[in-house]
Structure 1
Amino acid sequence: MSDFLTVTFPISGVTTSVFVPPLTAFAVSFFASMGGLSGAFLLLPFQMSVLGYTSPSVSGTNQLFNIVAIPSGVWRYARERRMVWPLTAAVVIGTLPGVVIGAWLRLEYLPDPKTFKLFAGLVLLFVGSRLLADFRRRKQAAPTAGAVEFAVADSSFSLQRAEFSFAGRQHSFSVPKIFLLCLLVGIIGGIYGIGGGAIIAPFMITFFQLPVHAVAGAALMGTFITSAAGVLVYQLLARFYPGVSVAPDWQLGLLFGIGGFCGMYLGARCQKYMPAKLIKLLLAAAVLLTACGYLAA
């Protein structure tokens, strides 16, 4: 490999080809974005296990990837009218304070990579198990790109309940329950470095029985907003933890983000052609494999 193409990133200390981060992020984001995930939850183990990036700043770097990568996917979902805006608002309001709390917990109680991997592995094992159980239990026909109303319509919102129609079916959810769940998930997401919205997508699918094709855009938007807050928090907290790598690696995060930007746009564009059950199966497999890798480490 040419020295010209190999770089060492000063903050993380990672040495790799300049093509590895964007190509990896592209592949991960393409499939993950179909389920409302940015792919950050898969990039984190890649950075820690493959690139050897294990310091606390890896969480902020992962959230920086989200900031760069997610806008293309959100724009595509919004353009095709597959954004549930009341759900988006609930996710953002709930996860935003949780991310701040989670970032502090990450630095204060989970700075050791082994403890962090155990925590992340248990969280992902639970989420993946729920997705797999939901995949095996539910046998409803998935909407296709040719469906008459393959778009979000008739949205209504109150402090107690929100409703919307999608692909000819009516859906509703409890606003307080979504808010409380998002607050908890935001804390977990802040610790894990994925913004919170990424974990909430499987929860919305399994616990609230919302359609995967409709929740993806809301989950990504929530991840984008909370990741921006997460990067800011990690950058500010770096002043209070001298001698510890806390601030994001901006160069590495931007390289990952460029690949994710392209992959997420194509994934959002192709999502409506993918059956819901197949998307759930891919999500469950990715989450469970990642969880097993963490727990075995």
Structure 2
Amino acid sequence: MYWLQYWYAFPVAVVTATLAMSSGIGGGLLFAPFFMFVLHLTPEQSMGTSLLTEVFGMGTAFINYYRMRLINFKVGGLLILGSVPGALIGAILINLHLIDALVIKLLFGAVITILAFAIILRKSSEENQGSIQEQTAGLVLGKLSTGKKVRMVLLSFLAGLGVGTLALGSGEINTPQLVNTGFTPKVAIPTSVFVMVVTVITATSVYVLKGQPVLGLALYTCSGVVVGAKLATLLIHKFRDKVLRWWLFGIFLLVGISIFVKIFQS
């Protein structure tokens, strides 16, 4: 019966992964609050299960995007220089209990609410780095100034820190910064997914070594995100950016507000 306890997490994972992978955000943005506030898991269990789930979802999306030749690996490698150290530091801070659970919940509410409005206020750059074939080539990296490269690495470090501590942050930061650098979303999203795969695996290893993921729950969420990731890669060319932004705005704002309500009720 233990393995049937969380059967309803499968459809939740399918929907969440479809939305996340088609927009370049981390599924942990919705998974971790769901685990923590709905299923009442500990912060460590929530983070561990959420990150393990993301490994399967992002891994599937990465394979599909790779086959579609939509990833710029050199630019992604630059972002990984910042995100991996950030993810390790964040995961260690959580597991050493250097951050209080209430602080994590408050951060969840604040970050998610801010991200909700950032999605609507953010404007895509009119400038671009050429055709999709040119944007996925290594030559694009050479066009970026040193200052812009340093800024991208620093922002990616912050993104990795978010992954390790809150199971979110990498895609939410890296996708918009790639778009604002001049990449079309059709390249920015897959490249961000590549960075998220490496970053999330790094953070997940810390939680798995301590046995924190809830395996009965992960059975359903991991299989669900595999299905969702496949759907997302099929839909990436069909989503209207404006409609998707307003949809995500509503979801994130609702989650953020519900978190604050839960905190003040407790």
With normalisation by structure 1, the TM-score equals 0.76
Alignment of 1:46-61 (within 5 A): 46-61=34-49
Residue 25 of structure 2: aligned partner: 37
Whether 1:228 and 2:204 are equivalent positions in the alignment is no
Q: Which runs of 5+ in 2 are unaligned?
A: none
Equivalent residue, structure 1, for 2:2: 8
The partner residue of 1:250 within 205, 215, 229 is: 215
1:217 corresponds in structure 2 to 190
**Aligned residues, how many?**
258
SS in 2 for 1:35: coil
CA separation of 1:293/1:211 partners in 2, compared to 1, >3 Å: closer, same or farther?
farther
Whether 1:185 aligns to 2:159 is: yes
Q: Is it true that 1:128 corresponds to 2:116 in the alignment?
A: yes
Letter of the aligned partner of 1:232 in structure 2? S
Residue number among 230, 235, 243 corresponding to 1:278 in the alignment: 243
CA distance in 1, matches of 2:174, 2:254: 18
Q: Which has the higher strand share?
A: 1
* TM-superposed deviation, 1:296: 2.4
Gaps of at least 5 residues in structure 1 are 1-6, 10-14, 141-148, 163-172, 239-245
Note if contact 1:66-1:257 (Cα within 8 Å) is conserved in structure 2: yes
* CA offsets 1:241-260 (integer angstroms, 9 cap, x no match): xxxxx622233223211100
1:161 corresponds, among 117, 120, 144, to: 144
1:115 equivalent to 2:103? Answer: yes
2:232 aligned residue:
267
The alpha-carbon distance between structure 1 residues 110 and 232, as it changes in their structure 2 partners (threshold 3 A), is same
- Matched position secondary structure for 1:97: helix
From the CA coordinates, give the structure whose radius of gyration is larger.
Answer: 1
Check the 8 A contact 1:91/1:197 in 2, yes or no: no
Aligned-partner residue type, residue 223 of structure 1: M
Task: Give the Cα–Cα distance (whole angstroms) in 2 for the partners of residues 66 and 120 of structure 1.
Answer: 17
1:291 alignment partner AA: G
Q: CA deviation at 1:209?
A: 5.7
Q: Which is richer in helix?
A: 2
Q: Structure 1 vs Structure 2: percent identity of aligned residues?
A: 19
1:283 CA displacement: 3.0
For residues 133-152 of structure 1, what are the structure 2 equivalents within 5 Å? 133-134=121-122, 152=135
Equivalence for 1:199: 172
Per mean C-alpha deviation after superposition, the further-off stretch among 57-66 and 285-294 is 285-294
CA separation in 1, counterparts of 2:212 and 2:180? 35
Shift of 1:204: 1.7
Letter in 2 for 1:16: Q
Cα-to-partner distance string for 1:66-95 (whole Å, 9 max, x where unaligned): 111212211222222221222321222211
The AA in structure 1 aligned to 2:45 is S
Once the two structures are TM-superposed, the CA of residue 200 in structure 1 deviates from its matched residue by: 2.1
